[in-house]
Copies of this chain bind each other. A is one copy, B any other.
Amino acid sequence: MSSIKQAIDAANAQAVERIIAADPVLIDILPAGEVIPGLEDRMVLHSGPPVTWDRMCGAQRGAVIGMVLFEGWAQDAAGATRLLERGEIRLEPNHHHQAVGPMAGTISPSLPVFVVENTAFGNHAFCRQVERQQQFGDYSEGAIRGLQMWRDFWAPSIAAGLRQMGGGLGLKTIIAKALQMGDELHNRQVAASSLFANAMTVPMIKAGLPADRLIGTLGYLANHEVFFLSMAMAAAKVSVDPASGIERSTVVTAMARNGTEFGIRVSGLGDEWFTAPAPRIEGLYFPGYKEEDAGLDMGDSAIAETVGWGGFVLGGAPGILNLIGGTPEQAMRYSAEMREITVASHAVYRIPAFGFDGVPVGIDIRKVVRTGTTPIIDTAIAHKDPGHPMIGAGIVRAPLECFEKALGAFASKYG
């Protein structure tokens, strides 16, 4: 075994050890501007690698317009578009701010975000809430009203429960249980959302919230089957971040898409993005929409696959197949494939359908390039134009080009 190979293997072992040792705890829900480092006034964070307004896809543009309206920086979509065209609203990736967001992923200063601490390492990560309108590019009055309800009603009520608990809510147990209940923690969060709602009920009552807030928020939680996605994403981000910046490690530390480009980051290559055009999703569409309406792959939610959930454990979550298509046998094959491109199995997050084997952790860019097997991601589908809610869901492969570019950069850096 060559010494460079040994050094890489050792670095990768360290990377996955850190990912597996992570202990994500939800400690609060607070306005993004108060907690996200470097998030300034007149700035909107978005999913994926960096992208300028002129290259931004339709759905993400629509979502950014929505945030500008939500913040009151413009009075209508035309006004918001003018500000954005003139560069008067700064656009930066969530990943540059310890944050992630599903689909368009847009976060602006007054939007409350989930604050997750990795108590094993002391780092933090942030994620916005999940809904099926504004983050898909819909900036209608109804979509903005949803953001306002989150800011003024639901988020503060849940936060009151969290503060009542003292020390926050451990997410590791909920994640471990949900993975044994058929959630893959990307598009299917029905078990985790239910367990979360149960865990919050007593603390929210003890917090002494007025009856209308208590009933309104607990009713909202009891009927929001994808609610936990934000916490899963923040938990994934906070778990993988300590594995970044390990010299010689070829482990992927982020996969993110902005609807224009798909980008990955690699531990030993620091914060650099290795990008390729965002791929098209194969999926199923909601009534009234069809394949030609679809935008390209979008969202930071592939942070779930980055830590071994989502498409990587599809075989353990066949309930998702009525949303994204495919058969249980295909799903099992996908999951088996993902073991070929990863470094280790998780010690705590185990899948009953795999005989309680752990989820595959630590995508190794060497293995991806050598086998040609790319990470499989299951994901929602947004419209190609601004102004629409969610239109479907499906399966996508990370582009091989990202991994080839990263391996090239790795070779250049480390020889």
A positions within 8 Å CB-CB of B: 177, 180-182, 190-191, 194-195, 197-199, 201-202, 205-206, 211, 214-215, 218-219, 221-222, 318-322, 327-328, 352-356
Contacts and interface: CB of A to CB of B under 8 A. Distances in A.
26 contacts: A181-B181, A181-B182, A181-B319, A182-B191, A182-B352, A191-B191, A191-B194, A194-B194, A194-B195, A197-B201, A198-B221, A199-B222, A202-B215, A202-B218, A202-B219, A202-B222, A205-B211, A205-B214, A205-B215, A206-B215, A318-B352, A319-B352, A320-B352, A321-B352, A322-B356, A328-B354
Question: How would you classify the secondary structure of chain A's contact residues: helix, strand, loop or mixed?
Answer: helix
* Residue in A190, A194, A205, A221 whose Cβ sees the most chain B Cβ within 10 Å: A194
Q: How many copies does the complex hold?
A: 2
A206 to B, nearest CB: 7
B205 A222 contact: no
A322 B222 contact: no
Contact of A190 (B181, B202, B218): B181
A352 B317 CA distance: 8
Nearest to A318: B352
Contacts of A356: 321-322
A187 to B, nearest CB: 13
Nearest to A225: B177
Contacts of A221: 198
Contacts of A222: 198-199, 201-202
Contacts of A215: 202, 205-206
A41 to B, nearest CB: 38
